[in-house]
A and B are shown apart, each in its own frame.
Chain A
Amino acid sequence: MLEPILLSLKVALAAVIVDFFVGIVIARTMARKEFPGKNAMESLIILPMVLPPTVLGYGLLILLGKRGPVGNFLLETFDFQLIFTWWAAVIASAVVSFPLMYQSAKAAFAGVDVTLEQAARTLGAREMRIFLTVTLPLAWPGILAGLVLCFARALGEFGATLMVAGNIPGKTQTIPLAIYFAVESGDTDGARNLVLVITLLSFATVFWLNWWSRNKLQAWKKGGGCRAESEHQ
C-alpha cells in the first residue's frame, strides 16, 4: 500500500516542479506581451482543463510513443524509452494540471503594478534582477496557490497517466490507478484504505490553501511583504 502513495507523491511533486518553471515563463509572457494569435494560444493552454484526460493521454501517446516524434528521438539518441516509465506519469500529470498553474500565475503577474518594475528600471536594475526581486516576490502568493492546486490535481491524475505510463506496480502505479485495479480485482479493503489516504491528502492540501489565502494572503496584500495589519495609516 505504501508504494503507490510514495510514487504518487513523487510524481505529483515532479509535475509541480515542471509546471512551476514552464508556468512562470509562459504566464509572465502572456500577462505582459501582446502578439498575434494570443487568444488561440491562450485557448490551447487552457484546453487540458476541459478535455477528457484520455484525449490528452492519446495525444501524448502519439507524441511520446516509440514511433512518435519525441519518443523516437529519445530512443534513437539516448536509447531511452519514455513511455511506461514514471517520467511519462510526470509528463501526463504536468500537462493535465498545467492550466491550474497557468491561470493562477497569469493573474498574479497581471496583478503586479507595472510602475514598480519601471521604478526598478530607473534605479538601474537589469530585467532579470527586476523579475527576481520585484515581480516574482509580489506575484508569489498567486503562484503558490497555483502550485498547490497543481499538486492536488496531479495527485489525482488517472486517465492520461494510465494511457502513457500504464499500470506497473512499483513503477508507474499511482494511488488512483491502484484504487481502480484493486476494485477490479475485488480487493475492496486495499481500495478503501487508498481512497482514505488520497481523500485526506487532497483535503489537507485544499484546506491549507483556503486557510492560507484567507489569513496570510490578506495580510500579505495589506501590509506589504509578510507583515500583518498596518500599524500606521
Chain B
Amino acid sequence: MLKVSINKVFPGFRVDISFEFERGFLVLFGPSGSGKSTVLNCISGLQQPDTGCISLNGKLFYSSSEGVAIPARIRRIGYVFQDYALFPHMTVKNNVMYGIPDRCKKGKGYRVGALDVLKTLKIDHLQDRYSGQLSGGEKQRVALARALMVEPDLLLLDEPLSALDHINRKNLQMELKQLQRAWDIPFVMVTHSRREMEMLADEILFLEQGKKRTYVFPAVRSRGLNLAY
C-alpha cells in the first residue's frame, strides 16, 4: 500500500495532494505543469515535500511531523526517467548492473538474474552497446531493466513513452502492462496522453494545477476503472 500526502509550494504554484494506492497500475494524468513529476520525485525521495507523509507497505519514507526523510538510495523505488537517464559512458550491461551491490553480483541474495531481465525485455543482444548506439525504444527497455534489476518495491515511470514513435509506443504499452502483472509490484506512471492512460491504468489520479480532480473520464467509466482516493 502506497500512502501519499504531500504539500509543496513553488513560486506561484502549489502541489497539495493525497492518495492511497494498493496494487496494479496507477496513472497520474494531467496537463503539463500540473505537478505530476513533483509527486513522483517526492515519492522517490529526489525532492522533499514541505509538509506531509509518504509510506510504502508500512515503511515510513517521509513524515514532516516526525522529522523522517529516508534518502532516495535506500527506498528501493525504481524510477524510469522521461529522457531515460542512461549513463552514456557505460555499456548497456554496466548500466543495468549499476544498482546491484557488488556482494550480490555473484547471484546470491537476488531473485532475478541480469540475463533474465535483459531477455524479458528483449535487449540481451545489446549488452555491449553504449546508449548513444541505441534507438529510443531500446533505451527505454534498458532504462526499465536497470530500474527493475534492484528489485524495487514500487516502480515510477515519468512519461516513459513520450519520446517514442507510434509503433514503438504501442508495443511498449503492452509490455509495460505485462511487466507489471509479471512483477506484481505497483507501477505509478505519469503521462499527459489520454490514450496511454486508457490503455494502462488500473487506477487514475487526475491532477490539475497541483490538485486532485475527481472527474471520471467516459472511457474510464466504461472500463470500470477506479480513481485513486
Contacts and interface: CB of A to CB of B under 8 A. Distances in A.
Contacts of B76: 124
A214 interface: no
A43 interface: no
A227 interface: yes
B44 A224 contact: no
Given A123-B99, A123-B146, A138-B88, A230 B74 contact: no
Interface in B41-95: 44-46, 71-79, 81, 83, 85, 87-91
B129 interface: yes
Contact of A134 (B87, B131, B146): B87
Interface stretch (B116-124, B132-140, B210-218): B132-140
B88 A233 contact: no
Contacts of A198: none
B212 to A, nearest CB: 25
B135 A232 contact: yes
A121 B73 contact: yes
B72 A122 contact: yes
Contact of A223 (B72, B73, B85, B130): B130
Interface residues of B, number: 33
Contacts of B101: 124
A74 interface: no
A208 B10 CA distance: 48
Contacts of A223: 130, 132-133
A125 B88 CA distance: 17
Contacts, number: 85
Interface in B85-118: 85, 87-91, 98-99, 101
Contacts of B88: 138, 224-225
A138 B72 contact: no
Nearest to A140: B89
A116 B76 CA distance: 17
B133 A230 contact: yes
Nearest to B74: A124
Interface residues of A, number: 26
A170 interface: no
B46 to A, nearest CB: 5
A137 B89 contact: yes
Contacts of B71: 121
A116 to B, nearest CB: 5
B132 to A, nearest CB: 4
B191 to A, nearest CB: 18
A120 interface: yes
Nearest to A222: B132
Contact of B81 (A119, A124, A225): A119
A79 interface: no
Contact of A124 (B46, B99, B134): B99
Contacts of A138: 88-89
A121 B46 contact: yes
B85 A224 contact: no
8 contacts: A115-B83, A119-B146, A121-B71, A122-B147, A123-B98, A134-B87, A230-B133, A233-B133
Interface of B: 44-46, 71-79, 81, 83, 85, 87-91, 98-99, 101, 129-135, 146-147, 150
Top 3 closest pairs, chain A to chain B, by CB: A224-B88, A123-B99, A119-B85
